[in-house]
Amino acid sequence: MNIFLDIETIPCQAAGFKETIEIKPPGTLKKAESIAEWERETKPGLVEEAYLKTSFDGGLGQICAVAWAVDDGDVEWLYTANNSPEAVREMILKDLFAELTRAYSNSDRPIFIGHNIASFDIPFIWKQAVVYNVKPPFFFPKNPKPWDSNIFDTMVQWDAKNFVSMDKLCKILGLPGKDGISGADVWPMIQEGKWEEVGVYCAKDVERTRNLYKRMTFGG
């Protein structure tokens, strides 16, 4: 049983979180006017950069869309309609875990397949499950390693030492790549209210992942 999986995430949605980010001026700045200029011109950009990075942290960021497919079945996907914790708990985690459990076969141990799935998608989902107190199915991996028998990470399988984007790998292998949207566009799209479009993008990533897997396993 192969489970192809992908998530999209956004930065921390806790009220006032950005204001708690502390970034100190460089130690080379000594004069008060130099520090004031740094705080006015440089610090806001650094704070924003630190804030956006929380979208990679399962304890601070938030899932906004998830998509999966079992074997050669249709790609299923879910997305939140707002940024509330309840939406993540009820519309993402509970529904995802219920669907995976429904598809599970006792005689067939699932293999989770994704691009950078061992380092990002699965750990992020597991941390969100802890944060929102939603118990994953017993077969859902915890702290997976790329070489675990129940994991197939297309990025690591291609190059264990370097980061290779899904789009780049698709192009290398002559497969359909991204269609003008990348993960960096997700948060701006959410800010524009394009929730469903993000869900569609996530679903397409699952299809791209399945194509990569089949090529890399010579037909799967």
CATH of domain 2-216: 3.30.420.10
Tokens of 55: 């979208």
pLDDT band at 220 (very low <50, low <70, confident <90, very high): low
Instruction: Specify the amino acid at residue 176.
Output: P
Phi and psi angles of residue 23, each rounded to the nearest 5 degrees, phi first:
-130, 120
pLDDT greater than 70 at residue 209: yes
What pLDDT sits at residue 13?
94
What pLDDT sits at residue 10?
97
Pairing of strands 111-114, 151-153: parallel
What pLDDT sits at residue 161?
93
What pLDDT sits at residue 85?
87
The mean of the pLDDT values for the chain is 94
pLDDT band at 107 (very low <50, low <70, confident <90, very high): low
Spans of all domains in the chain: 2-216
The pLDDT tens digits for 127-159 are 999 999 999 999 999 989 999 999 999 999 999
What pLDDT sits at residue 153?
98
Distance set, CA 183 to CA 47, 66, 108, 118 (Å): 20, 13, 32, 17
What pLDDT sits at residue 102?
93
Instruction: Check if the beta carbon of residue 97 is closer than 8 Å to that of residue 136.
Output: yes
The pLDDT tens digits for 41-94 are 999 999 999 999 999 999 999 999 999 999 999 999 999 988 888 899 998 999
Going across the sheet that includes 2-10, the strands are 76-79, 62-70, 2-10, 111-114, 151-153
Work out the average pLDDT over 103-117. 88
pLDDT band at 191 (very low <50, low <70, confident <90, very high): very high
